[in-house]
Amino acid sequence: MKSIVVWDLPTRAFHWALAASVILALIIIEDEGLAYTIHVILGVAALVLVLFRLVWGFAGGERARFTDFVAGWTTVRSHTLQLLRLAPPRHIGHNPLGGWAVLVLLALTLLAATTGVLTGGLLGSATARAVDGIHELFGSLLQLMVFIHIAGVIVDWVLTRDNIVAAMWHGRKRIEDTSSAVSARGGSVLLAAAIAVPLIVFGGYVMTQIDLTAAPGRSSFDSETG
Ligand code: HEM
Ligand code: HEM
């Protein structure tokens, strides 16, 4: 057996930061007070992380690129059929079904966080009130997708005996000595920082535009303020 590098550091750091911020944003939900402030901070962090990942999908390391894991219909179908026979093949990067799940997770996080920001009153309280229900919908859809994601990871791990959770942590996978697979070219950490810094500044700016004491679009806020 030999060990090869699969996930570069920025991709791994992105994943666990996103997982933590989304899971906590789905648990800590309020429309005023400290819990509301925490929900907003976590939500804006998730927004910044997804924007980073969208750029990283073009500029990042070999396995992190969308071209590496967004597969066509035939490949997805063949993988799904093998999965239904409980014999999915191992993959060095994301498997074809997982690749699409990644896109859905990113899209739903983007939608939940963006509508969340609008709920925060960035475009006025009328818009805030209008998007409130949509935010709840995307938040719930994202929650469902996170369950599917974690279930998919466990199923893949059990059926392929490939500890993909550990791989997403330390970045490496063990493969047969005879395999021709070589370590993936990682993205530059410096480039990742150059992409991240303006996005963090943008996130900070968004935070300054949100009333952190109470959500402007919520009825409780309206009745308190008249
Ligand atoms: C404790 C919970 C979680 C575990 C154990 C976990 C595990 C994993 C693993 C093992 C992968 C790599 C899959 C592969 O090898 O193809 C992955 C990818 C991914 N997960 Fe999670 N995940 C968790 C929570 C979340 C949450 C809450 C989100 C939020 C949206 C999320 C979003 C993603 C994304 C976007 C990727 C793609 C990574 C990339 O290419 O940048 N995960 N996850
Ligand atoms: C990925 C990021 C986010 C996720 C996953 C998320 C998720 C959720 C969920 C699931 C709910 C509960 C819906 C319900 O009542 O059933 C909610 C409510 C809410 N969210 Fe977010 N949210 C995110 C970001 C944000 C952001 C950035 C803001 C900014 C202001 C925000 C503001 C609110 C407000 C005001 C509520 C209503 C609270 C209440 O019902 O009392 N969210 N969010």
For ligand 2, atom 26, name the residue with the nearest CA: 116
Sequence length of the chain is 226
For ligand 1, atom 14, name the residue with the nearest CA: 94
Domain range for residue 169? Answer: 2-225
Q: How far apart are the C-alpha atoms of 127 and 209, rounded to whole Å?
A: 14
Indicate whether 220 pLDDT > 60: no
Classified as helix, coil or strand, 183 is coil
Tens digits of per-residue pLDDT, 67-77? 999 999 999 99
Ligand 1 atom closest to the CA of 6, numbered from 1: 15
Tens digits of per-residue pLDDT, 30-79? 989 999 999 999 999 999 999 999 999 999 999 999 999 999 999 999 99
**48, 119, 131, 140, best to mutate for ligand 2 pocket (most atoms within 8 Å of CB):** 119
| Amino acid identity for residue 223 in this structure | S
Task: Please give, one letter per residue, the 3-state secondary structure of 129-157.
Answer: HHHHHHHHHHHHHHHHHHHHHHHHHHHHH
User: b/e string for 123-143 if b means 16 or more Cβ within 10 A?
Assistant: eebeebbebbebbeebbeebb
What's the number of domains the chain is made of? Answer: 1
**168, 173, 174, best to mutate for ligand 1 pocket (most atoms within 8 Å of CB):** 168
CATH number, domain with residue 128 = 1.20.950.20
For ligand 2, atom 25, name the residue with the nearest CA: 116
